[in-house]
Structure 1
Amino acid sequence: MNRYTYYIMETAKRLLAIPSPSGFTHMAADFVKQELEEMGYSPELTNKGAVRVNLGGKTKDNSIMLAAHMDTLGAMVTEIKSNGRLKLTNVGGMNANNAEAENCRVFTRNGSQYDATFQLTDASIHVNGEYSDTKRTYDTMEAILDELVHSKEDVEKLGVMPGDFVCFDPRTKVTDSGFIKSRFLDDKFSTAILLGFAKYLKEENVLPERTVYLLITSYEEVGHGGCASIPEDVTEMISVDMGCVGEGLGCDETMVSICAKDSVGPYDYQVVTGLVNAAKAHQINFAVDVYPHYGSDVDAALKAGYDLKHGLIGPGVYASHGYERSHRKGAENTLKLLTAYLL
């Protein structure tokens, strides 16, 4: 698995460098599609902008869908202020407290890009006596363009307008000890893991007993990524997303997490039990946890009316929806569980 883990880590870095908040995922979709094509698969883009591919299988009885999402948190311009600063609205759960002083880029409808910084309004502590007491919200913060602009008209001349996407710097770093730190590991790390799984099947000439599909979705962070594009022969779906790391949970960044229940409800008993038994049989480092504040692509699929068994696994990720951290062993254990469960 070592060379596939290396591929996952390198692919994650490349994917994390591509801006892709929900609704603005076309560049990430092109990357994922090209990776799969270079492996020898025939992926397709769905109408919603997801990437779907059939990895093959000996039979289409009880086919399984593995889903990850390439969309991330971000923001959108909602107003150009009279002084040329930009008021933003969040896309997904991008927390204003966590995003303070972060570098970002504004993508205009005419194809231009502009650097900016997301700051508290009147951000100089030597000037603003209420700096420490001001609650950080999208109403009290603004994006400051790194352009010589001083008015709304100046900004409009650049082509910036309400509705433009704002993408935050991921600040990706991989340490010598194997940790990967970045915004948006949720869920680009697991997207890279599924690409690694596809690569493993192709290069090792492994054909699963049942057909395996991948679905890399584009709207998970706003709740409807997994609502569509599931083939009729699929009877089971597993979200490969981030595993939660935090107080009261058993998972850490080196493990694969198996979710028994999230905020929507319990996952399928047979699927969860099968995942646990596969992990035990292959001596995979895992934890079973209950996520208190979480929803997944599989939850969205069931709400859309699909009749599926469902599960959720993923590498342990700390500081979710913030500056996140995981480890290459988390990726390796997730890949091992996928092969143990499916092959």
Structure 2
Amino acid sequence: MNTVKYLEELLAIPSPTGFTREVVAYLVETLEQMGLQVQVSPKGNVLVTLVGKEEGPARLLTAHVDTLGAMVRAIKPDGRLKLDRIGGFPWNMIEGEDCLVHLADGSTVSGTILLHQTSTHVYKDAGTVERSQDNMEVRLDARVTRPEETAALGIQVGDFVSFDPRTQVTETGFVKSRFLDDKASVAICLALLEQIQTAGIQLPVTTHFMFSTFEEVGHGANSSIPAGVVEYLAVDMGAMGDDQATDEYTVSICSKDATGPYHYGFRRQLEGLAQQFAIPYKIDIYPFYGSDASAAMTAGWDVRHALIGPGIESSHSYERTHIDSLTATSDLIFRYLESPLMEG
């Protein structure tokens, strides 16, 4: 399915929040190849518009292409790097991960993120010491033992650090990778846009797709929303864990996150479409979560907002989903796009 093709291409492009020029260029090229007109906001959000059959109120769908990552916080006395996190994840979620340091000249230096006290033959507390900013570091794949040697590589404070996504698609239909949040949703939207363009479908309502670039830090698609938008659908990951209904095989419809409830009527409309077209779904609450839609509400936009997405296991770590969940999410979005605006 084209969704998986787009997903693999997206995951191969490092794009921690604030370092998204390459992935934005990919989006612009891909969308223009579909015959779509693309706008890029000063902030870096990518917008395309599908003109509907009737003039009037419009819809907006968002998915975010920025990911978790880090920046160089300092060069340590032994030449290794101290990091500062981009996005919300505990330090243990990246322990042992390979990474790239992105230099100002466009080149990279590879390394591995490790606990300073990693060697069990030296540190008796290697298994229990706190994983914190002070204890985690980048071991560079370069012969450095002093700050001057690291600086000579071109590494400086403020350089972005991206993590190896380690993407795999299994014969059993699972997709394992970092950053399925939210590149899985971006891939779904790209595949849908391709389907709509190829089939020459004109939607009943003018619909904008915005791919945001600052969601992981809380303000991705809370601005530059086109005039006339009354419905705002964020497509983002469904969170899994204890007390969660979301799974890896259905589309997750969020009723509430950390910012509060989503629009009740809009949520019920999405449930009704899932029931009408036999799309497997789950209703859920994400207790420690915010989306582009909730950011827009906090910014003061007067819209009906909702949130759906594929179920993602182990969010903000080495994530996993299933093609069935990608398909269910795609099916619900398409049925929504074909439906009239809700009344009121």
Instruction: Say which SS state the counterpart of residue 3 (structure 2) adopts.
Output: helix
**Equivalent position of 1:97 in the other structure:** 92
**Equivalent position of 2:32 in the other structure:** 37
Identity of aligned residues (%): 43
Correspondence for 1:187 among 155, 168, 182? 182
Partner AA of 1:192 in structure 2:
A
**Equivalent position of 1:135 in the other structure:** 130
Partner AA of 2:258 in structure 1:
S
| More displaced stretch, 318-327 vs 245-254 | 245-254
How far the C-alpha of 1:303 sits from its partner, in A, is: 1.0
Deviation >6 Å, runs of 4+: none
**Equivalent position of 1:67 in the other structure:** 62
Q: Deviations over 1:286-314 (max 9, x none)?
A: 01111111100011111111111100000
Correspondence for 2:168 among 164, 169, 173? 173
Partner AA of 1:163 in structure 2:
G
**Aligned pairs (5 A) from 1:272-287:** 272-287=267-282
Tell me, yes or no, if structure 1 residue 199 matches structure 2 residue 182.
no
In structure 2, distance between residues paired with 1:132 and 1:326: 30
**Equivalent position of 2:342 in the other structure:** none
Contact 1:238/1:312 (8 A) holds in 2: yes
| More displaced stretch, 122-131 vs 261-270 | 122-131
Q: Deviations over 1:226-275 (max 9, x none)?
A: 11110011111000000112221222111001111111111111110110
**Aligned pairs (5 A) from 1:16-55:** 16-55=11-50
Instruction: Say which SS state the counterpart of residue 209 (structure 2) adopts.
Output: strand
How far the C-alpha of 1:94 sits from its partner, in A, is: 3.1
How far the C-alpha of 1:60 sits from its partner, in A, is: 3.7
Tell me, yes or no, if structure 1 residue 124 matches structure 2 residue 88.
no
How far the C-alpha of 1:118 sits from its partner, in A, is: 0.4
**Equivalent position of 2:108 in the other structure:** 113
Contact 1:92/1:222 (8 A) holds in 2: yes
Partner AA of 1:34 in structure 2:
E
How far the C-alpha of 1:152 sits from its partner, in A, is: 0.6
Contact 1:74/1:94 (8 A) holds in 2: no
**Equivalent position of 1:313 in the other structure:** 308
RMSD (CA atoms):
0.9
> Structure 2, unaligned stretches of length 5 or more?
339-344
> Structure 1, unaligned stretches of length 5 or more?
1-5
Contact 2:117/2:135 (8 A) holds in 1: no
Correspondence for 2:285 among 281, 290, 297? 290
**Equivalent position of 1:3 in the other structure:** none
Tell me, yes or no, if structure 1 residue 56 matches structure 2 residue 51.
yes
In structure 2, distance between residues paired with 1:305 and 1:252: 32
Tell me, yes or no, if structure 1 residue 258 matches structure 2 residue 248.
no
Q: Deviations over 1:148-179 (max 9, x none)?
A: 11111111111100000000000100000110
Q: Deviations over 1:192-239 (max 9, x none)?
A: 001011111111111110011110000000000011110011111000
Instruction: Say which SS state the counterpart of residue 227 (structure 1) adopts.
Output: coil
TM-score w.r.t. length of structure 2:
0.97
Instruction: Say which SS state the counterpart of residue 321 (structure 1) adopts.
Output: coil
TM-score w.r.t. length of structure 1:
0.97
Contact 2:45/2:221 (8 A) holds in 1: no
